[in-house]
Amino acid sequence: MNLKITCIPGDGIGPEIVAEAKKVLDVVAEKYGHDMQYTDILMGGASIDVHGVPLTEEAVETAKSADAVLMGSIGGDTTTSPWYKLPPNLRPEAGLLGIRKALNLFANLRPAVLYEELAEACPLKQEISGNGFDMLIMRELTGGLYFGERKTVEENGVRKAVDTLTYDENEIRRIAVKGFDIARKRRKKVTSVDKANVLDSSRLWRAVVEEVAKSYPDVTLEHMLVDNCAMQLVKDPAQFDVILTENMFGDILSDEASMVTGSIGMLASASLNDTKFGLYEPSHGSAPDIAGKDLANPIATILSASMMLRYSFDLDKEADAIDEAVKQVLRDGYRTGDIMSEGCEKVGCKRMGDLIVERIK
Ligand code: IPM
Ligand code: MG
């Protein structure tokens, strides 16, 4: 296959981890007879430094013309970086929100898996983590509070800020369909998370999800309130297969779920539109404190590249080869600092990339 991939190295550790993911993709391309062409674009702080804005029209056009986008991370230290002295619409995060909207990436898939090899890193008690867990958060990504009308005004000398949470039934239906489709390929359970005891948007969410569920009689649907879900994630994470939820709840719950695995440096994510096109990125941030020091864990980005092969290109065999190589490296006892445990060998970002490449060859 000829694959055109737009890369967004971004800020902080982004460039280092994307470089390792490219190395891995190159060896996969060589072994399985594909041709991968990469075009880099700037986004976030890297784009602000050059263009004064976190995302340019041209960058969006380049991304659109590719078959998929592979991203590292964006953003800097919010207390010290000059990027955060800019108005909100010119800060690094605005670039990420902008590209999500411009590419219509409404479905955000965030798997949270407890790797057997890293079970020690899990902060939960053994009696809870012992069963292992493997869930996928399907987060709506282009609606809700993130994209509703907002303003800050002053009324009679009192400052007031307004954000609005809006969903129409079409936005809910399309993400619900994605959630049920993916549940069918997994353990066939969807937990739809909302706050239907308070919010109208959640009541509509629940009604539409139930309508969609009728077309998936083989998939079990349950509803859960978001506060309860936050609790259940630490109490019994093994109960979850697919968690289907709106933008803001998904933002919060996916951080919680990744923390529960104890190894956020391992977690990949995909943001998809209604075609095969997607943007793939690690679930973690740009870690400016360790940037450029060859200390970052590239595995989440490498696994994001694997998700890209699987979801955008249907290259399951190739994706399996990457996933297996990652597991093998862990079994062989290599760890980056963030997942280090006693008796293992500590390696840097580049070496970790090389070790995975060797196991694919
Ligand atoms: C995420 C991040 C973003 C979000 C920020 C950087 C705008 O937290 O991808 O989860 O809130 O969506
Ligand atoms: Mg987040």
Q: What digits encode the pLDDT tens for the residues 48-98?
A: 999 999 999 999 999 999 999 999 999 999 999 999 999 999 999 999 999
**Backbone torsion region of residue 10, taken as left when φ is above 0, otherwise alpha when ψ lies between -120 and 50, otherwise beta:** left
Question: Which protein residues have a CB closer than 5 Å to ligand 2 (ion)?
Answer: 251
Q: Given a cut of 90, is residue 117 above it in pLDDT?
A: no
Predicted pLDDT of residue 121: 86
Q: Percentage of the chain with pLDDT > 90?
A: 96
Question: 123-260 is classed in which CATH architecture?
Answer: 3-Layer(aba) Sandwich (3.40)
Closest approach atom of ligand 1 to CA 97: 7
Q: How many CB atoms lie within 10 A of CB 274?
A: 12
What is the arithmetic mean of pLDDT over 104-126? 92
Q: Which CATH superfamily is domain 1-115+275-361 in?
A: Isopropylmalate Dehydrogenase (3.40.718.10)
Active-site hit among 22, 67, 146, 280: 146
Number of the ligand 1 atom closest to the C-alpha atom of 247: 12
Pairing of strands 68-73, 134-140: unpaired
Q: Is the pLDDT of residue 263 over 90?
A: no
Neighbours of 305 (CB within 10 A): 27
Question: What's the confidence (pLDDT) of residue 336?
Answer: 97
Question: What local confidence, expressed as pLDDT, does residue 116 receive?
Answer: 85
Using the mean position of ligand 1's atoms as its centre, give its distance from the Cα of residue 4 in Å: 26
Predicted confidence at residue 131, as pLDDT, reads 82
Give the pLDDT confidence of 274-293 residue by residue, as tens digits: 999 999 999 999 999 999 99
In the predicted structure, residue 357 carries a pLDDT above the cut 90:
yes
Please give the number of the atom of ligand 1 that sits closest to the Cα of 96: 7
Domain with CATH 3.40.718.10 in the chain: 1-115+275-361, 123-260
pLDDT of residue 196: 98
CA of 93 to the centre of ligand 1 (A): 7
Average confidence score pLDDT of the chain: 97
**What whole-number distance in Å separates Cα of residue 309 and Cα of residue 305?**
6
Residues 6+ apart with CB under 8 A from 177: 212
pLDDT in tens, 177-216: 999 999 999 999 999 999 999 999 999 999 999 999 999 9
pTM of the model: 0.94
Ligand 1 contacts CB of residue 287 (under 6 A): no
